[in-house]
A and B are shown apart, each in its own frame.
Chain A
């Protein structure tokens, strides 16, 4: 596709369960970002991948959160033992050095932990 896609668009899970959120970046984009946005709030940085470099994990709120990027393309954000405070919209963005610092965002995954 032409843009960043994310799946699922909505996820409802019970407290304590694990969830996986998927991001398909724009083809050829070397950088990939995950953010969390609570209701009506700004974006909270979670993790950043750039090419083959070690990811910047400085924004991950706890060790329950992890992310992988396979083959320099698709990324999966995993939240283990979900808590109610994990409820938020999780946004993925990608960018290309060639295009400068512009980030292209996906539509997000709305996670609700009951």
Chain B
């Protein structure tokens, strides 16, 4: 059973465009994380959101945690080729002792 769904599965855009990717679940999570993974490497944590309705900004990236703590979104402004990668969301279960990952959104930003 896939607890976390991500959409879109694939996204290819031109440099300078804006985009939003989504992470959805029917389950409530105590916290939710976003990771970016590049080919041949492990995922790298971008952000952790904990409070329902929380918004965090990391330069051109804006993360939002849904009020009910079941969903999240990642918005990228003025995408750059360096943003290319697999974006994974992960929900914390067992009070952060374990995590379930979504299938990821594969983003390609073309110069």
Binding site for B on A (CB under 8 A): 4, 31, 33, 35, 40-45, 48, 50, 56, 91, 93, 100-103, 105-108
Contacts and interface: CB of A to CB of B under 8 A. Distances in A.
B98 A56 contact: yes
Given A35-B101, A42-B103, A43-B101, A101 B48 contact: yes
Given A40-B106, A102-B48, A107 B41 contact: yes
Contacts of A108: 40-42
A108 B42 CA distance: 6
Q: What 9 A-B pairs have minimum CB-CB distances, sorted nearest first? A: A105-B42, A42-B103, A43-B101, A101-B96, A42-B101, A42-B104, A105-B43, A102-B45, A91-B42
Contacts, number: 58
Interface of B: 4, 6, 31, 33, 40-45, 48, 86, 88, 90, 92, 96-104, 106
A6 to B, nearest CB: 8
B104 A41 contact: yes
A93 B42 contact: yes
